[in-house]
Amino acid sequence: MPMSTSRLSRLSASLACFGTAVTLCALAGCNTANTTMASGPTNADGSVPFKQIVTNGWLNYKANIVSVREGIVNGDMKRVAVDVYSDQLTTQRFSYRFDWSDAQGMPVQSATASLTSVTIKPKETITLTSVAPSPQAVQWRLTFLDKQY
Amino acid sequence: MKNRFLPIATTLSLALPLALAACQKAQYVDPKGNDLIVNADRMNIQDWNLLADQVVQSMVNSGVLARLPNQPAGILLNPVINTTTQQFDTDGIMKKIRISLLNTGRCEVIMTAGPGGRAEDKIAQDAQALKDFQSGKDNQVNPNNIPDATLTAKLIEDRARSGSTRQVAYVLQMSLTNTNTGRAVWEGEASVIKQGQRSSVGF
């Protein structure tokens, strides 16, 4: 059954709107953050189960967390090491930041916490590390942001 | 006729700059976010954070803080040697390092003594001297003023250019000395390298 001219024009208009939205999203990079945190106690070998909130699939391809380890330094300060793998065939860049909180989940401010820019080569695994800003800081959260600029 | 248009012209000439000023965009940005201005040829505030963070992480990760004598160890900081081409208050970096070290609970900064007898906090120094006098210890050196460790820091810069691309590197070098032995027990280096043609926003 042939489509009427008005229906065709409505369909093409909808497609155009969808295309524009996709293009705008691609241009903006859909720069939402991916967040990772420990989801359970540290295993005997130092590895830690973790959970991720992935809102940016593209970012997750180039900054994919493969393992997390925790340890103690100076007797009472927690430290964390996160292995990140890039599945891409070109060099990629992204930014990350560790935020720490105490046992009650209250944020522990760090004077030096900042968003750090990283370059990762194709199929490379790098390790991101952080030390708790104080002995009270026992929980961490790692935020990834896509490099846009 | 001219006089009729004069008030309108005057009003417009006054209103126009005000209207333009109202259009100027100013906003607060997250100091830990990625909307900060980045200059390829000078040090920005986020560079202070990055340099301080790297050396603090290195120092804490080394485990040296737990091995310092007299926990929490009293430390004194030497003035930063700034050999960069930029004039700025190096406390922008050193204060962050001090805060981070204090937060570890392993160090305390001595405020009542300093290089050449110049205390950082003169009021505290006077108060301490008064307390020492009252307790009859004013003829002795207060042991709390003797640092268990000292920090030295140097900030250096390297510039390079290829075509229209400029590169600047800032390197912060630090040493922690145990005053019991007089030996450096930790040394660290942090660097920030930036490239670009002109100022841009981003991180």
What 3 state SS string does chain B have? CHHHHHHHHHHHHHHHHHHHHHHCCCCCCCCCCCCCEECCCCCCHHHHHHHHHHHHHHHHHHCHHHHCCCCCEEEEECCCEECCCCCCCCHHHHHHHHHHHHHCCCEEECCCCCHHHCCCCHHHHHHHHHHHHHCCCCCCCCHHHCCCEEEEEEEEEEEEEECCEEEEEEEEEEEEEECCCCEEEEEEEEEEEEEECCCEECC
Does A113 share its domain with A141?
Answer: yes
3-state SS, residue A9: helix
CATH number of the structural domain spanning residue A54: 2.60.40.3230
User: Who among A113, A117, A135 is closest to B203 (CB)?
Assistant: A117
Q: Domain of A58?
A: 32-146
A44: closest CA of chain B, how far (Å): 20
Does A127 share its domain with A69?
Answer: yes
Does A14 share its domain with A86?
Answer: no
Q: Which residue of A has its CA nearest to B67?
A: A74
Report the pLDDT averaged over residues B129-138. Answer: 88
Tell me: ipTM over 0.95: no
Does A58 share its domain with A104?
Answer: yes
Does A90 share its domain with A24?
Answer: no
- Contact check, Cβ <8 Å, B63/A111: no
Give the Cα separation of B32 and A129 in Å (integer): 18
Residues of B with Cβ-Cβ distance to A131 under 8 angstroms: 56-57, 60-61
Dump pLDDT digits (tens) for A5-52. 666 566 565 555 455 544 544 544 567 899 999 999 999 999 999 999
pLDDT of B94 reads 92
| B106 or B140: which leads in pLDDT | B106
User: Who among B66, B103, B203 is closest to A134 (CB)?
Assistant: B103
Confidence tier at B15 by pLDDT (50, 70, 90) = low
Q: Which residue of B has its CA nearest to A98?
A: B32
Report the pLDDT averaged over residues A44-61. Answer: 93
pLDDT of A143 reads 95
Does A102 share its domain with A116?
Answer: yes
Dump pLDDT digits (tens) for A81-95. 999 999 999 999 999
pLDDT of B118 reads 86
pLDDT of A59 reads 92
Does A52 share its domain with A94?
Answer: yes
B113: closest CA of chain A, how far (Å): 24
Residue B113 above 50 pLDDT?
yes
Does A15 share its domain with A60?
Answer: no
pLDDT of A149 reads 42
Confidence tier at B115 by pLDDT (50, 70, 90) = confident
Does A50 share its domain with A21?
Answer: no
Residues of A with Cβ-Cβ distance to B57 under 8 angstroms: 129-131
pLDDT of A27 reads 47
So where are chain B's domains?
34-110+147-197, 111-145
Residues of A with Cβ-Cβ distance to B194 under 8 angstroms: none
Domain boundaries B34-110+147-197, corresponding CATH code: 3.40.50.10610
Out of A125-129, B8-12, B163-167, the most confident range is A125-129
pLDDT of A24 reads 47
Does A85 share its domain with A128?
Answer: yes
Does A127 share its domain with A106?
Answer: yes
Q: How many domains does chain A fold into?
A: 2
- Contact check, Cβ <8 Å, B53/A116: yes
| A55 or B200: which leads in pLDDT | A55
pLDDT of B22 reads 57
Does A48 share its domain with A2?
Answer: no
- Contact check, Cβ <8 Å, A115/B32: yes
- Contact check, Cβ <8 Å, B104/A134: yes
- Contact check, Cβ <8 Å, B50/A114: yes
User: Who among A76, A79, A149 is closest to B202 (CB)?
Assistant: A149
